[in-house]
Amino acid sequence: MIKLYGFGQSRSFRCLWALEEAGIEYEYINAKLRTDPEDPESAKHPSYLQLNVQGKVPTLVNEDLVLTESVAILNYIARCAPESGLLPNGSMDLYARLDELVSFVLAELEQPLWSKGKHMFALPEEQRIPEMLKTAEFEFNKAVNTLEHLLNENEFAIGNQFTIADILLAHTFNWAIRFEFDVPEKYLDLRNRLYERAAAKRAMELVA
């Protein structure tokens, strides 16, 4: 059985949501972040570091396979359940659009959010740079403007079905809301609409 180690609404939530969408049997294990390494449930405990050397989440374990990057996990889950439609059944051009959008979310849209998070709470205090917060806002606004040219007015991001791209977009805008960025109304609506999916609600119940 697949095991997913995660924490709250961090990047691991994407993977938990995908597992619920895919209908795959799994075990969810809460890994405590920023806690005493001697705590057996801590992500800094030696037993967890054997799985994920960075002491972060997510981590997916399936027999001998260990994955620690959220998009790799999303793709793996989608390929384990092709009937879920999390990866589109379409042309090479459609897959190219999917790859482009996933890459953009990771490299451009999410990056300023994590920059703000690191300089708010994740980094040691002596490494935080308050001026980075304004830079993060500038970069996020720039990324949102670019996104306007990558998305159309369809219900879903790629083709006419819900895919991993929709999970990434909804989760990233959820981060933006929680980190108090100025999110345009249309993307607030996108986040709210997709988080109303039954699978997303089931995943939220597990991390509440």
pLDDT tens digits, one per residue of 19-39: 999 999 999 999 989 888 888
What is the maximum span of the chain, computed from C-alpha positions, in angstroms? 50
Asked whether residue 96 falls in the same domain as residue 70, the answer is no
CA distances in angstroms from 50 to 69, 115, 203, listed in the order given: 15, 27, 26
Note whether 64 and 99 are same-domain residues: no
Place of tokens 């981590």: 59
User: Residue 138 sits in which domain range?
Assistant: 92-197
- Same domain? For 30 and 81 the reply is yes
CA nearest to 187, candidates 196, 174, 200:
174
Residues 136 and 41 in one domain: no
The helix (run of H) or strand (run of E) holding residue 60 is strand 59-62
Per-residue model confidence (pLDDT) at position 138:
97
pLDDT per position as a tens digit, 117-157: 889 888 899 999 999 999 999 999 999 999 999 998 899 99
> Is there a single domain that holds both residue 101 and residue 193?
yes
Is-above-0.75 flag for pTM? yes
Residues 50 and 106 in one domain: no
Q: What is the CATH number of the domain that holds 61?
A: 3.40.30.10
Are both 101 and 174 inside the same structural domain? yes
Residue 97 and residue 48 share a domain: no
Count of domains observed in the chain: 2
The predicted-structure confidence for 153-205, as pLDDT tens digits, reads as follows: 899 999 889 999 999 999 999 999 999 999 999 999 999 999 999 999 999 99
Task: For residue 206, list its beta bridge partners.
Answer: none
Residue 207 domain flag: no
Cβ pair 60, 66 in contact under 8 A: yes
One domain, residues 97 and 72: no
Dihedrals φ, ψ of 6, to 5°? Answer: -150, 180
**Of 85, 108, 126, which marks where a domain is finished?**
85
20 and 100 fall within a common domain = no
Residue 51 lies inside a defined structural domain of this protein: yes
Confidence of residue 90 (pLDDT cuts 50, 70, 90): confident
Question: Of the candidates 43, 65, 85, which is a domain's last residue?
Answer: 85
Q: Which CATH number does the domain housing residue 128 bear?
A: 1.20.1050.10
pLDDT recorded at residue 34:
83
User: Is the separation of the CB atoms in 162 and 197 below 8 Å?
Assistant: yes
Residues 160 and 76 in one domain: no
* 3-class state of residue 121 by DSSP: helix
For the chain, give percent helix, strand, coil, nearest 5.
Answer: 55, 10, 35
Among 85, 117, 144, which residue terminates a domain?
A: 85
105: in domain: yes
Task: Give CA–CA dist 168/98, Å, rounded.
Answer: 11
